[in-house]
Amino acid sequence: MTNKSKIINDPVFGFITIPNAFLYDLIQHPYFQRLNRIKQLGVAFFVYPGAQHTRFQHSLGAMYLMNETIKQLRFKGQEISNDEANGLLSAILLHDIGHAPFSHVLENILINGVSHEEITLMLMKKINAAYNGELDIAIKIFNNLYHKKFMHQLVSGQLDMDRLDYLRRDSFFTGVTEGTIGSARIIKMLNVQDDKLVVEAKGIYSIENFLVARRFMYWQVYLHKTSVAAEKLLVKILKRAKALCTNGETLFASPALAYFIRQNVTQETFNTDTDAICNFIALDDSDILSAIKVWAKHPDIILSTLSQAFINRKLFKVKQQDLSANERNKLIDTYVQHFGIERNDASYFFEVEPLGISSTYHRGNDQILIQSSDGSLLDIADASDMLDITILDKKVAKNYFCYYSINR
Amino acid sequence: MTNKSKIINDPVFGFITIPNAFLYDLIQHPYFQRLNRIKQLGVAFFVYPGAQHTRFQHSLGAMYLMNETIKQLRFKGQEISNDEANGLLSAILLHDIGHAPFSHVLENILINGVSHEEITLMLMKKINAAYNGELDIAIKIFNNLYHKKFMHQLVSGQLDMDRLDYLRRDSFFTGVTEGTIGSARIIKMLNVQDDKLVVEAKGIYSIENFLVARRFMYWQVYLHKTSVAAEKLLVKILKRAKALCTNGETLFASPALAYFIRQNVTQETFNTDTDAICNFIALDDSDILSAIKVWAKHPDIILSTLSQAFINRKLFKVKQQDLSANERNKLIDTYVQHFGIERNDASYFFEVEPLGISSTYHRGNDQILIQSSDGSLLDIADASDMLDITILDKKVAKNYFCYYSINR
Amino acid sequence: MTNKSKIINDPVFGFITIPNAFLYDLIQHPYFQRLNRIKQLGVAFFVYPGAQHTRFQHSLGAMYLMNETIKQLRFKGQEISNDEANGLLSAILLHDIGHAPFSHVLENILINGVSHEEITLMLMKKINAAYNGELDIAIKIFNNLYHKKFMHQLVSGQLDMDRLDYLRRDSFFTGVTEGTIGSARIIKMLNVQDDKLVVEAKGIYSIENFLVARRFMYWQVYLHKTSVAAEKLLVKILKRAKALCTNGETLFASPALAYFIRQNVTQETFNTDTDAICNFIALDDSDILSAIKVWAKHPDIILSTLSQAFINRKLFKVKQQDLSANERNKLIDTYVQHFGIERNDASYFFEVEPLGISSTYHRGNDQILIQSSDGSLLDIADASDMLDITILDKKVAKNYFCYYSINR
Amino acid sequence: MTNKSKIINDPVFGFITIPNAFLYDLIQHPYFQRLNRIKQLGVAFFVYPGAQHTRFQHSLGAMYLMNETIKQLRFKGQEISNDEANGLLSAILLHDIGHAPFSHVLENILINGVSHEEITLMLMKKINAAYNGELDIAIKIFNNLYHKKFMHQLVSGQLDMDRLDYLRRDSFFTGVTEGTIGSARIIKMLNVQDDKLVVEAKGIYSIENFLVARRFMYWQVYLHKTSVAAEKLLVKILKRAKALCTNGETLFASPALAYFIRQNVTQETFNTDTDAICNFIALDDSDILSAIKVWAKHPDIILSTLSQAFINRKLFKVKQQDLSANERNKLIDTYVQHFGIERNDASYFFEVEPLGISSTYHRGNDQILIQSSDGSLLDIADASDMLDITILDKKVAKNYFCYYSINR
- One-character DSSP codes across A318-385: EESSPPPHHHHHHHHHHHHHHHT--GGGGGGGEEEEEEEES-S---SSS--EEE-TTS-EEEHHHH-S
User: How close, in Å, is residue A223 to chain B by CA atoms?
Assistant: 12
User: Do residue D184 and residue A7 have CB atoms under 8 angstroms apart?
Assistant: no
Question: Would you call A9 and C50 a contact, using CB atoms and an 8 Å cutoff?
Answer: yes
Segments forming the whole domain that contains residue A312: 225-356
Q: Are A18 and A147 found together in one domain?
A: yes
Q: Quick: pLDDT tens for B147-168.
A: 999 999 999 999 999 999 999 9
Nearest in space to B28 (alpha carbons), one of D289, D317, D405, D313: D313
Would you place residue C389 in the very low, low, confident or very high pLDDT band (cuts 50, 70, 90)?
low
Contact (CB<8Å) D188/A15: yes
- Chain B hits for A215, Cβ within 8 Å: 386
Q: What pLDDT score does D2 carry?
A: 39
Among partner residues B178, B213, B394, which is closest to A206 by beta-carbon distance? Answer: B178
* The total number of structural domains that make up chain C: 1
Residues D386, C178: C-beta atoms closer than 8 Å:
no
Taking the C-alpha atoms of residue C161 and residue C150, their distance in angstroms, rounded to an integer, is: 12
**Closest residue by Cα to residue A391 from A208, A230, A233, A225:** A208
What is the predicted pLDDT for the residue at B4?
46
Q: What is the pLDDT of residue A177?
A: 87
B7 vs C184: CB contact, 8 Å cut-off?
A: no
Nearest residue on chain D to A188, alpha-carbon basis: D7
Helix, strand, coil percent values for chain A (each to nearest 5): 55, 10, 35
- Least confident residue range of C42-56, C308-322, C357-371: C357-371
The pair phi, psi for residue C200, each rounded to 5°, is -60, 150
Answer yes or no: do A140 and A229 share one domain.
no
pLDDT confidence of residue D4: 46
Indicate if the pLDDT at residue B384 is higher than 50. Answer: yes
More confident residue, A5 or D23: D23
What pLDDT is attached to residue A3? 38
On chain C, the residues whose CB falls within 8 A of the CB of B15 are 184-185, 188
Chains touching B (3+ CB pairs < 8 Å): A, C, D
Are A230 and A204 in the same domain? no
Residue B188 and residue B237 in one domain? no
Q: What is the 3-state secondary structure (H, E, C) of C143-203?
A: HCCCCCHHHHHHHCCCCCHHHHHHHHHHHHHHCCHHHCCCHHHHHHHEEEECCEEEEEHHH
* 3-state SS assignment for residue B398: strand
Interchain pair B57, D36: CB under 8 A? no
Partner-chain contact A290 C30, CB within 8 Å: no
CB distance B219–A209 less than 8 Å?
Answer: no
Nearest-Cα distance to chain C for D394, in Å, is 9
Can you give the pLDDT at residue D408? 63
Of D11, D255, D285, the CB nearest to B172: D11
* Structure confidence at residue D230 (pLDDT): 95
Q: Is pLDDT above 50 for B34?
A: yes
Is C350 strand, coil or helix?
Answer: strand
Whether residues B205 and A213 touch (CB distance < 8 A) is answered with no
- In Å, the largest CA–CA distance within chain D is 73
Give residue-wise pLDDT tens across range A159-170. Answer: 999 999 999 999
pLDDT at D359: 67
Percent of chain D with pLDDT over 90: 78
Q: What is the pTM of this model?
A: 0.94
Chain C residues with beta carbon closer than 8 angstroms to that of A285: 286
Query: pLDDT digit string (tens) for D172-215?
Result: 999 998 888 889 999 999 999 999 999 999 899 899 889 889 88
Question: Angle between the D82-94 and D136-143 helix axes, to the nearest 10 degrees?
Answer: 60
Residues B297-326 have a mean pLDDT of 94
| Cβ contacts of C50 on chain A, cutoff 8 Å | 9-12, 53, 57
Alpha carbon of B182: minimum distance to chain A alpha carbons (Å):
5
Residue D169 C-alpha from the chain's centroid: 13
- Both A203 and A250 in one domain: the answer is no
Model confidence over C395-406: pLDDT tens digits?
777 788 999 999
Contacts of C173 in chain A (CB under 8 A): 11
The mean pLDDT value for C209-236 works out to 91
Beta bridge partners of C318: C402
Residue C164 has pLDDT above 50, yes or no: yes
Instruction: Return the residue of C nearest to A253 by Cα.
Output: C254
What is the pLDDT averaged over residues B287-314?
Answer: 97
CB pairs under 8 A between C and D: 59
Across the interface, do B386 and A182 touch by the CB < 8 Å criterion? Answer: no
**C205 interaction partners in chain D (CB closer than 8 Å):** 216, 219-220
Note whether residue D269 is domain-resident: no
Q: What is the mean pLDDT of residues A273-277?
A: 94
How many other C-beta atoms can be found within 10 angstroms of the C-beta atom of residue B61?
Answer: 27
Same domain, yes or no: B196 and B49: yes
User: Averaged over D52-63, what is the pLDDT?
Assistant: 98
Chain B partners within 8 Å of A172 (Cβ) = none
What residues of A are in contact with residue B209 (Cβ under 8 Å)? 178, 212-213, 216
Q: What's the residue count for chain B?
A: 408
End position of a domain, from candidates A193, A222, A251: A222
Lowest-confidence range among A252-266, B302-316, C159-173, D207-221? Answer: D207-221
Whether A26 and A162 map to the same domain: the answer is yes
Residue A13, pLDDT > 80, answer yes
CB contact under 8 A, D7 and A184: no
Claim to verify: residue A117 and residue A181 sit in the same structural domain? yes
Q: What per-residue confidence (pLDDT) applies to A358? A: 60
> Which chain A residue shows the shortest CA-CA distance from B396?
A385
| HSE toward the beta carbon, residue D357, CA cutoff 13 A | 22
Nearest by CB to C7, from B14, B15, B188: name it.
Answer: B188
- The answer to whether residue B405 is domain-embedded is no
Distance from CA of B277 to the nearest CA of A (A): 41
Of B191, B222, B253, the last residue of a domain is B222
Chain A residues closer than 8 Å to B383 by CB: none
Residues A134 and A229 in one domain: no
CA of A382 vs chain B CAs: smallest distance (Å): 13
Examine the pLDDT at C353 and tell me if it is beyond 50.
yes
C21 within domain boundaries: yes
B123 and B48 co-located in one domain: yes
User: DSSP 3-state helix, strand, coil percentages of chain D (rounded to 5)?
Assistant: 55, 10, 35
The answer to whether position D229 is within a domain reads no
Give the residue, B358 or C15, on which the prediction is more confident.
C15
Give the distance from residue B255's alpha carbon to the nearest chain D alpha carbon, in angstroms.
7
Indicate which of B207, B208, B216 best probes the interface with A, i.e. most A CBs within 10 Å of its own CB.
B216
Average pLDDT over chain A reads: 92
Of the candidates B120, B117, B59, which has an alpha carbon nearest to the alpha carbon of residue B92? B59
Chain C nearest CA to D143, separation (Å): 32
Strand partners, A197: A192
Chain B residue closest to D255 (CA)? B294
Say if residue D388 is exposed, middle or buried (CB neighbours under 10 Å; 0-12, 13-18, 19+).
middle
pLDDT class of C277 with cuts at 50, 70, 90:
very high
Cβ–Cβ gap D219/C205 under 8 Å: yes
Cβ–Cβ gap B60/D49 under 8 Å = yes
C398: nearest CA in chain D?
D385
Residue A265 in any domain: the answer is: yes
Q: Give mean pLDDT, residues D203-231.
A: 90
Q: Write down the mean pLDDT value for chain D.
A: 92
Reported as type and span, the H/E element at residue D112 is strand D111-112
How does pLDDT run across A145-198, given as a tens digit for each residue?
999 999 999 999 999 999 999 999 999 999 998 888 889 999 999 999 999 999
Q: What is the pLDDT of residue C360?
A: 72
C184 to B15: CB separation less than 8 angstroms, yes or no: yes
CATH of residue C54's domain is 1.10.3210.10
pLDDT for the residue numbered C408: 63
In a shared domain, residues A214 and A254: no
Assigned domain for D362 exists: no
Cβ within 8 Å, pair D54-B56: no
How high is the mean pLDDT of chain C? 92
DSSP C221: I
Size of interface B-C (CB pairs under 8 A): 10
Is residue C182 included in any domain, yes or no? Answer: yes
Residues C262-275 have a mean pLDDT of: 94
User: Has residue B281 been placed in a domain?
Assistant: yes
**D-chain residue closest to A72, CA distance:** D17
Categorize the per-residue pLDDT at C25 as very low, low, confident or very high, splitting at 50, 70 and 90. very high
Note whether B247 and B320 are same-domain residues.
yes
Q: Chains near C, with 3+ CB pairs < 8 A? A: A, B, D
Per CB-CB distance under 8 Å, the chain D contacts of A188 are: 7, 15
Closest among A382, A13, A53, A380 to A210, alpha carbons compared: A380
Q: Which of D10, D185, D187 to mutate to test the interface with A (most CBs of A within 10 A)?
A: D185
CA distance B54 to chain D (A): 8
Q: Which of D177, D212, D215 sits opposite C182 (nearest CB)?
A: D177
